[in-house]
Amino acid sequence: MKHEGLVFGKFLPLHRGHLALIEFALEHCWRVHVVICAADESTGGSETIPGEERLMWLQSHHLLENRVKVHLLPYDEAKLPNTSCLPANFPVSRADS
């Protein structure tokens, strides 16, 4: 296997589906980067569980091995809104237009 994989999400909270996705990536990649997207109070966001805590959840999980690298990506919700919370009529620009 030569490929590196990327799994990203909020992991708010971490659940079996997240772990299954990481395990699937490990079946196909020699290394998997897991990125925790966090817009908690430290960045002025509204998420109730700090990104640092979610980072510890993933780092301490016994199913993860040394081929998994966990990263924390703090972001500002004012600049990068949570798309699952956007209204249906939110204007979206297309890259090909």
pTM of the model: 0.77
DSSP 30-86: SEEEEEEEE-BGGGT--BSS-HHHHHHHHHH-TT--TTEEEEEEE--TTTS--GGGS
How does pLDDT run across 39-85, given as a tens digit for each residue?
877 777 778 899 999 999 998 886 667 899 999 998 887 777 665 66
**Structural domains in the chain, sorted by start:** 4-73 (3.40.50.620)
